Chains A and B, each alone.
Chain A
Amino acid sequence: MSLIVDNLVKRYGEFTAVKGLSFTIDKPGVFALLGTNGAGKTTSIRSILGMLSREGGTVTWKGRALNTTEERVGYLAEERGLYAKYTIHEQMMYFAELKGLKKNKANDAINFWLDRLGASEYLKKRAETLSKGNQQKVQLAIALISDPELLILDEPLSGLDPVNTDLFRSVIRDEINKGKYIIMSSHQMPTIEEFCTDIVILHRGEAVLQGNLNEIKKGYGRVKLSVKADENILPLALECGLEVVQQTPNGTDFRVGNPVQAETFLKKAIEGGITLVKYELREPSLHEIFVEKAGGDTNEG
């Protein structure tokens, strides 16, 4: 079972929103679709789901063209939407029936997910009376109601408080453990690093980096040095050829050209009697990789 997106192209008139996006998810887990605002993430997701017509490319799920009306696919859209005037039960039942669930099973699923997400008390309430966070819970429940094999989460954690963020993360973890195929788009890099094995970074509709996250990081090598000391270390760092990335109260981050520079800096610092509070030579974080690849000239929209 795998999802293969091959050479996906989406145009709006003269503007190409997605330029030949290709990736494969061949094992359960979370695949991250990253990019700045307007990079083409949501357009890619809508094209994959067949909501938008494609100017090129194919999307194959379990060996045949993906048809969301035939398959168990769950989708949590970036822009949330519920029927404001209808009760939570009415609309959840509607979406469950659209997914082909019988009334009894639909009721069981509704009760299970609202209970799991701590929203059972809202069952008979109209959506407009719920807070944004609780509406988001209902939307996640709707995405999960048919026990989907393929789950697409577009910014699932945006706007949630820390407690509900943890709740959503635990639900996502459960789904991973159940062997679900998940595509997740998020701007919260720690969350992506927590869940995702493979990523693609989009920039202006084009994939600028993709692959296994660990391998990508390894490919960069340990090129980031974080140092905190009681004394001023900048003259020494510059003497050793280190490039300052940023200075914060927690220390200074450097870009390291090669490991020898870092070793030389450490040796000279100890010899010079500098009291080092922190010295960390590491691979770049996903955040740093993302900024490097997509942060050059962002295109809001």
Chain B
Amino acid sequence: MKAKGWQQVFKFTFLQMIKSKSYIISTIIIIACILLMSLGANFLPGLLMGRDNDKEPTLEEVGVISPFRIDTIYLSDRSSIEPAPYYGFLTAYNIDVVMISESEVEAITEKVRTSLEAIGLIEVIAAEYGYDVIISRPEFDGLLSTANFNTISEMLNNRVWRAHMISIGVPEDSIDDISIYVNSQITIAGETPRNEMATMLANSIIPMVSSMVLFMFIFMYGSLTAQAIATEKTSRVMETLLTSVRPMAVILGKVLGMGLASFTQFFALVVAGFGISAIVAPFGTLGQVFGSVEIAVDDVQMHMVKTAFDEAFSGFNPLSLIWIIVIFLLGFFFYSLIGGLFGATISRIEDLQSALTPMSLIGVFGFYLAYVSPAFSIDSEEVNIVQRFSYYFPISSPFALPGVIISGEMNAVGALISVGFLAVCCVLMLMFVSRIYETIITHTGNRITLKAMFKMAKGK
């Protein structure tokens, strides 16, 4: 296989690709989407719904306007909790707290109901089973709605409970220690237990999402390689190129150049994803500042989510990252060679779509195999047979394997076997392409069919 000069083709292809408007814009859009998704999921609720903190914020931090938009709260405390108050945080949020007696409740209730002002009534009542916290808001919801009181309700629940603990003699320092969550798990004997959420993430969500992202990059750039080669051929640039380099150098440089451009964008996405998560996500800097998740879920739920994510991403380490890069590049190489081959079969650019049909069928079949098979295991700890097949089948393994490596579902031996199959396929594809590419790249006239390509390869 003569491929001298592929380096120049590679360099030119890569530089032109990353300089293109479509590449720059798509990269920006992808990163912006990640940012928006992170904001949408974590950051915005924190901004819209206020925040919850163990430390009471100072008035200076809060500002003169209540984040809850409530001016006055009438409070009827019938909890008998000593020592009160558990409601000190309300004044810290610049809300006027007016203590009322039980006899005044009826009148105040009517006042609040008919009020056009930002006021509310809170009743904390001792009950047999614990406490009732009843919050009343005005009928007119132009100023205040139920949502304005949701956060106060959750914060109050927590503080009433703490006050009760203290009132019955639990030392304040020990309260956090007794707030534990008991997590029960069922597992196959001998296997590491994993909670339900982690199982769902590892067996289904991560493989499905990663296969979708990988398909997008591998298949899209494979198609772009086909398009680039078809454009060179149909615009007759190829003839000028071929006085300087052999056809194999053109396709090799083109595939590798596109591969690097694709990988660069993929890598940018990964870095941006982690970076944005570190800043915006609930565990990240801004997430903590705005307390975005704490207001929606309690600490125990938060802990469960964190644990599930930690378990689901348990396979992610520097070595697995290398595996993923290798699989990505091999997958890209495989699909781009197919794309380059079919792109070279045409003489008119309008024939490109029909020429790429076989590649599309192969790619979509591989993608669906990787994407759909995890859905059958969504409630199961077991990996199904189709899913397992997709890990080793070279058409689907570039899309399926990275997800299961991240989640630790695939060990090094399994990954090695799968990558081995894929590498062998790449070599076979390269051999096939090198046998016929020199003939088809200068062919003019009708599109060369798959059958004709096999006949050519056999003839050689």
Contacts and interface: CB of A to CB of B under 8 A. Distances in A.
Interface stretch (B166-174, B211-219, B237-245): B237-245
A133 to B, nearest CB: 17
Given A82-B237, A90-B16, A68 B442 contact: no
Interface residues of B, number: 24
A79 B236 contact: yes
B439 A86 contact: no
B78 interface: no
B91 interface: no
Given A46-B442, A69-B4, A90-B16, A98 B239 contact: no
A51 B233 CA distance: 13
B242 A49 contact: yes
17 contacts: A52-B442, A68-B243, A68-B244, A69-B4, A69-B244, A77-B240, A79-B236, A80-B236, A81-B239, A81-B240, A82-B237, A83-B235, A84-B235, A95-B240, A98-B9, A98-B241, A143-B240
B245 A69 contact: yes
A51 B245 contact: no
A141 to B, nearest CB: 11
A139 interface: yes
B2, B8, B9, B245 — which one has the most chain A CB atoms within 10 A of its CB? B8
Interface string A27-70: 00000000000000000001001011100000000000000110
A122 interface: no
A81 B8 contact: no
Contacts of A83: 232, 235, 237
B351 interface: no
Interface in B204-249: 232, 235-246
Contacts of A53: 438-439
B331 to A, nearest CB: 28
A98 B6 CA distance: 9
B50 interface: no
A203 interface: no
A84 to B, nearest CB: 7
A74 B245 CA distance: 13
Nearest to B445: A12
B244 A82 contact: no
A97 B8 contact: yes
Contacts of A94: 8, 12
A33 to B, nearest CB: 16
Chain A interface size band reads 20 to 34
A14 to B, nearest CB: 14
B243 A75 contact: yes
Contacts of B244: 68-69, 95, 98-99
A80 B12 CA distance: 20
Nearest to B242: A51
A139 B9 CA distance: 19
Nearest to A50: B242
A73 B235 contact: no
Interface string A119-162: 00000000000000000000100110000000000000000000
Interface string B1-34: 0101100110010001000100000000000000
Contacts, number: 64
Contact of A142 (B4, B232, B240, B245): B240
Nearest to B250: A98
Task: Specify which of B8, B244, B246, B442 lies most central, judged by the most chain A CB atoms within 10 Å of its CB.
Answer: B244
Contacts of A79: 236, 239
A80 B243 CA distance: 14
Given A69-B5, A81-B237, A84-B235, A49 B243 contact: yes
A69 B237 contact: no
A96 B230 CA distance: 22
A75 B8 contact: no
A164 to B, nearest CB: 20
B243 A74 contact: yes
Nearest to A75: B243
Given A49-B242, A69-B4, A94-B8, 19 more contacts: A46-B239, A68-B242, A68-B243, A69-B245, A73-B243, A79-B239, A81-B235, A81-B237, A81-B239, A82-B235, A84-B235, A90-B16, A94-B12, A95-B240, A97-B12, A98-B5, A98-B241, A98-B244, A98-B245
Contacts of A97: 8, 12
A275 to B, nearest CB: 55
A143 B242 CA distance: 12
A85 B373 CA distance: 42
A69 B244 CA distance: 5
Contacts of B241: 95, 98
Contacts of A90: 16
A49 B243 CA distance: 7
B245 A75 contact: no
A224 to B, nearest CB: 39
A68 B240 CA distance: 11
Interface in B242-283: 242-246
B16 A51 contact: no
Interface in B420-460: 438-439, 442
A46 B239 CA distance: 9
Nearest to B249: A69
A77 B12 contact: no
Given A69-B246, A97-B8, A98-B5, A81 B238 contact: yes
Contacts of B442: 46, 51-52
A300 B20 CA distance: 41
Interface in B318-353: none
Most buried by A among B2, B232, B237, B241: B237
Contacts of B243: 49, 51, 68, 73-75
